[in-house]
């Protein structure tokens, strides 16, 4: 983790995790990492936001159970197949935001939009991140293996 910002009053701490994913439809459980940032921030009452700055990834709150994650992978592959036609990947038509090393990842953009959001915010009460019994903070990769970042921002008193 890299510290981006720290403040004592109000208590604010922002850290970024740099990591490499290894596959499409991969999940990373960030629950303990989120709790650790809150503890380092010393926030007793406030909120923590977990954010991904990538358009083909998402942050979700759900169960981190192998059967569920495998069920989800099958569902998302059937609902938004990687092999389908996506205008985003058609460089004869697309003229915006192109890069030399452009991935064919129209499916990943749609998966992110259908499944989740770039950020989740969770209340902190008495220093505890208020998650349900089975809820976990999950990062989901919908593109291919690549370098990624997640920002964890805790604030409060």
Q: What tens digit of pLDDT does each residue of 44-86 get?
A: 999 999 999 999 999 999 999 999 999 999 999 999 999 989 8
Calculate the average pLDDT of the chain: 93
Q: What tens digit of pLDDT does each residue of 30-54 get?
A: 999 999 999 999 999 999 999 999 9
* 56-75 per-residue burial string, b: 16 or more CB within 10 A, e: under 16: bbbbbbbebeeeebeebbee
Domains of the chain, residue spans: 2-85+104-156
pLDDT for the residue 87 = 84
Smallest CA-to-CA distance from 142 within 52, 29, 23 is with: 23
pLDDT for the residue 93 = 77
Mean per-residue pLDDT for 134-149? 97
Reported confidence tier of residue 88, pLDDT bands at 50, 70, 90:
confident
Domain 2-85+104-156 of CATH type 2.60.120.460 = yes
Residue whose pair of structure tokens reads 């940032």 in the numeric block: 37
Residue whose pair of structure tokens reads 């985003």 in the numeric block: 88
pLDDT for the residue 98 = 65
């Amino acid at each position: 983790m890299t510290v981006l910002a720290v403040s004592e009053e109000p208590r604010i701490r922002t850290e970024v995790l740099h990591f490499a994913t290894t596959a499409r439809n991969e999940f990373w459980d960030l629950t303990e990492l989120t709790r650790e940032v809150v503890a380092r921030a010393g926030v007793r009452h406030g909120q923590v936001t977990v954010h991904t700055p990538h358009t083909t990834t998402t942050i979700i709150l759900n169960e981190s159970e192998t059967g569920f994650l495998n069920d989800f992978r099958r569902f998302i592959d059937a609902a938004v197949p990687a092999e389908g036609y996506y205008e985003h990947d058609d460089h004869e038509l697309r003229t915006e935001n192109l890069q030399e090393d452009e991935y064919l990842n129209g499916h990943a953009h749609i998966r992110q939009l259908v499944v989740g959001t770039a950020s989740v915010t969770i209340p902190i009460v008495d220093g505890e991140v208020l998650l349900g019994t089975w809820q976990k903070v999950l990062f989901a990769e919908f593109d291919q293996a690549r370098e990624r970042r997640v920002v964890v921002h805790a604030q409060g008193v």
